[in-house]
Structures are given as C-alpha cells and as structure tokens.
Amino acid sequence: MRRYGFWRVKSEVCSNEGNGKVSEDRIILSITDGVATITLNRPDVGNALDIPTVKELAKAVDHFAADDAVRCVVLTGAGRLFCAGGDIASMAGAGDGLPDMLGDLIAALHRVLVALIEMPKPLLTLVNGPAAGAGFSMAISGDVVIAGKSASFLAAYGGIGLTADGGMSWLLPRLIGLRQAQRLILLNEKVGADEAGAIGLVTQVVEDDDLLSVGQTMAYRLKTSAMSSIGGSRALLRESLQSDYATQLERERQSMMEAARGSENSEGVAAFLQKRKPDFEKAN
C-alpha cells in the first residue's frame, strides 16, 4: 500500500494521463471512497505555479468535476508550503515576453478555478503551510478551508509590482470585507493562521499534526452529504452576491423544486420518517 496525497489508497488511483499510474511530477492525484485528492507536488519551489503545472491541474480538475463517483475534491500541497503562487523563476526567464506569458498562465489558472467553483460538489482545501499570491487565492477558494497552525497568507503582488489574480480581488472583500481586503492586498500584510481564523478567512485552524486527520474527517462528512443539496446551495451562494432580493428568492424556489425531483430528496425524507441516517451515496 502506497501513500498518495494524504490518504492510504488501495483501490482506484486516477492519473492525469489516463494510464492508471499516479503522476510523481508536478501534482499527485488520487481517488478513493468518493474523495478525490489533488496535491501540488513541487515542494522544492514551494509548489509554485508554472504553465505545465497548471495544465496538469486543469486535466485533474476537469476529470474529477465530471466524475459522478467523486463526491468531494480536496486540494492541498506537498512539503512545507501550500503554494508560493506564480513561479518567479519562470517569470524572470520570460524576458520581454513576460506579459504574454503571465496572460497565458493566468488564463489557464482562472479556467481551473472557475471549474472548481462551479462544479456541483464540495471543494475542501487543506492549507498545510504558507500560501502566497495565486496560492493564497486557491487556498481560500474552498467551501471549507482548514489551515494548519504553520499556514500563513500573503497577497505578495505588491512586492513584485503586480496586481491580484486567482479571484483574490473578488473573494477577499466577500469573505472578510473591503477594509480588510485593502489591508491584505494594498499593504501586502501577512496574516497568520490564528488571525485568518479570527477574521473569517478560513473555516478552521488546527495543529499541523492534526491537519490530515481533521481533513479526512471533514472530507468524509462532505462526501456523505447530499450532492444535490451541496451543488444547489453552492450555486445559490455564488449567485446571491450579484442578485437583488426578489431575484434570489426566485432562484431559491427554482433550486428547491429541482432538488425535490431527485433521489436524494426521496432518500432524505424516507430516512427522516424512518428515524435513520440517510444514505445519500446509494441514492444516486
């Protein structure tokens, strides 16, 4: 039995190349018991993002998002950092082509993030260490974000004369308010794990040694939930930020009607009446 990501996996292992083997290169992929794990795997450079890494990530996300057997996606990092953001060395090597290179890199990353945000299943991020730049954005994109005590969050863009990407300028004001977002992005202030928990940047802060076990428990909780409920609720929460009240009420009505047509609703009602725990996984 080998270790892939942070679960011991004996059954199905998913590859970004479709050959049944796990990539030992830029990302590590695994799927077991309905939980798909994506581990950024460039620890020697802080899991920094370059175009080949993002392309591998895109293949993994597209596969897991479309796979009905996957009921929860987990994103984490290998080594000491979660993700240091963009690969500065590759930026330095781009020369006069840097703007175009960054444009291509960011476009590819943004497609990945949109796929993660819009998929009808939960995203759990386990922040195992510092997250900077686009790594910061990726870390806080989860529906549930669990950070180890060694985690920290730094926008970093101002330090190299760039501006925010990865949805940071959209997410931060909604998560922690405009004033705090201005502090983190414009003043480039680093936030530690405890402060991140206090201001609502992350869901939970745990000891580093407990991150994997707590993450495992949370992933099980998410993957045994009703996917119709989670998928519909994810969409409603996302849409609410652009909707007026009356529009959102109608969206809620339509979402409820759609969920009521599904087998998970039938299972949930039956379980309630029979005074037992619903088995949503078998309901699909």
Q: How many CB atoms lie within 10 A of CB 127?
A: 33
- Per-residue pLDDT tens for 39-52? 999 999 999 999 99
Residues 200-209: pLDDT tens digits? 999 999 999 9
Instruction: Go through 70-92 and write b for each residue having 16 or more CB atoms within 10 A of its CB, e for each that does not.
Output: bbbbbbbbbbebbbbbbbbebbe
Tell me the pLDDT tens digit for each residue of 142-167: 999 999 999 999 999 999 899 999 99
